[in-house]
Amino acid sequence: MKTRIRHFMAALLLPLLLSSLAACSQLGYYGQAAQGQISLLQNARSVDSLIASPETPQQLRNRLQAARQMRQFAVDELALPDNSSYRNYAQLKQPFVLWNVVATSSLSLTPLRWCFPVAGCVSYRGYYQHESALEFAQQLRSEGYDVRVEGVPAYSTLGWFNDPLISTFINAPDASLARLIFHELAHQVVYVKDDSAFNESFATAVEQAGVQRWLDKFGNEAMRSNYEKDEGRRKDFLALLRQYRSRLDALYKSNASDQQKLHDKAEIFQALQQDYQSIRSSWGAYAGYDRWFAEPLTNAHFVSVATYNDLVPGFQAMLLQSASFPEFYRSVKQLSERDKSSRNAQLQLLAKQQNAAKSP
């Protein structure tokens, strides 16, 4: 009964949303967003019923059982919301649940921002159909912007709906699946409108701490080894991107002419490609980051790197200073009530103090 009621309420969302935005020039965009969310909810089925059903393929049953255990761990050990999110499963016929379009000016690393009724202003626009994302990306390119289209396996509705497990990520390795569930649930704990870096860095800090605790309790030697290798590759990749983001930032702030900046920008991207190949060769056959280079490199490629990682050390320091996850969340909520510059300054100070404490 609850599932039917939820679907009925979701079905009401589209006409209500469209009527409230009838005068909005983005009517088509909001329409596809509402329809995409409704379709996702309508496709979702209870994890418990799928596990019990003899018609469920064994491989999927195994993944759902693993996800159910991770979901309970999120409640018991990480104090994440105990609600119906990630207790249902939706099978999609596409590789990603949606595609984000990210854009910057040709000589800037500052992303364009779009503002929405609930999420506030964010540095992307999401599309449930790949073709629609590509069309919008082409429009932005025609206006001279640097653009990237990136597939998204999961997202959070911030507790407004019961976010389901999705076929786009259910087959990820255990640690990666746990990471994703913890990250998306963290968005339901704290979310600050108009500050993507704060939100994503907080969720990233929760996911990283959560996965480590989950591995300590449920992982085996092979899982821990694979996770350590993944973390090592991730750190290598992020260090590479930070290095080149700094080079681009220095270039764009220089007194060189725009023509010279564009020339040097192309050389920097070429050097990045070459350095990535060198790092990749040290990883053996691992090609997990090749997708980042699938499109021609642009400034827009660096937006998510900053959004998801720049403030993480500060949140990690806050967690270390907290006696429990609930205490950590309370501290983050208090911090979220400050203005943006004050929040960032505090997180940077905490990170600096933590690094100083580690130094001999």
Specify whether the CB–CB gap between 317 and 349 falls below 8 A. no
Q: Which of 48, 50, 72, 70 is nearest to 59 (CA)?
A: 50
- Which of 9, 26, 43 is where one domain is finished? 43
Does 18 map to a domain? yes
Q: What pLDDT was estimated at residue 121? A: 82
The DSSP code for 111 is: B
Residue 100 pLDDT > 60, yes or no? yes
HSE (CB half, 13 Å, CA atoms) of 238? 14
- The stretch 304-330 carries a mean pLDDT of 91
Mean pLDDT of the chain: 90
Q: What pLDDT was estimated at residue 354? A: 84
- The stretch 54-63 carries a mean pLDDT of 98
Written in H, E and C, the secondary structure of 255-323 is CCCHHHHHHHHHHHHHHHHHHHHHHHHHCCCCCCCHHHHCCCCCHHHHHHHHHHHCCHHHHHHHHHCCC
Of the ranges 65-69, 260-264, 299-303, which one carries the lowest mean pLDDT score?
299-303
pTM for the predicted model, two decimal places: 0.86
Q: pLDDT for 21-32, tens place per residue? A: 433 446 678 888
Q: Is residue 360 very low, low, confident or very high in pLDDT (cuts 50, 70, 90)?
A: low
Does 205 map to a domain? no
The H-assigned helical ranges of 98-194 are: 130-142, 174-186
Q: Which of 133, 196, 147, 114 is nearest to 299 (CA)?
A: 147
Letter for the amino acid at 200?
E
Residue 315 pLDDT > 70, yes or no? yes
What percentage of the chain has pLDDT greater than the value 90? 77
Does 147 map to a domain? no
Q: What pLDDT was estimated at residue 122? A: 84
Does 263 map to a domain? yes
Does 351 map to a domain? yes
Does 69 map to a domain? no
Strand pairing report for 165-166 and 88-90: parallel
- The stretch 213-232 carries a mean pLDDT of 94
Tell me if residue 70 falls in helix, strand or coil: helix
Cα–Cα dist 185/206, whole Å: 9
DSSP codes of every residue in 180-236: HHHHHHHTTT---TT-HHHHHHHHHHHHHHHHHHHHHHH--HHHHHHHHHHHHHHHH
Does 55 map to a domain? no
Residue 307 pLDDT > 90, yes or no? no
Cα–Cα dist 208/182, whole Å: 9
Helix (H) or strand (E) holding 125: strand 125-127
Query: Which range marks the domain in which residue 346 is found?
Result: 222-358
Residue 116 pLDDT > 70, yes or no? yes
DSSP codes of every residue in 327-340: HHHHHHHHHHTS-H
Tell me if residue 129 falls in helix, strand or coil: coil
Tokens of 226: 């694979």
Altogether, the residues listed in the chain come to a count of 360
Domain count, the chain: 2
Residue 11 pLDDT > 60, yes or no? no
Cα→Cα distances 301→79, 104, 258, 261, Å: 33, 9, 20, 18
Q: pLDDT for 320-349, tens place per residue? A: 999 999 999 999 999 999 999 999 999 999
Does 324 map to a domain? yes
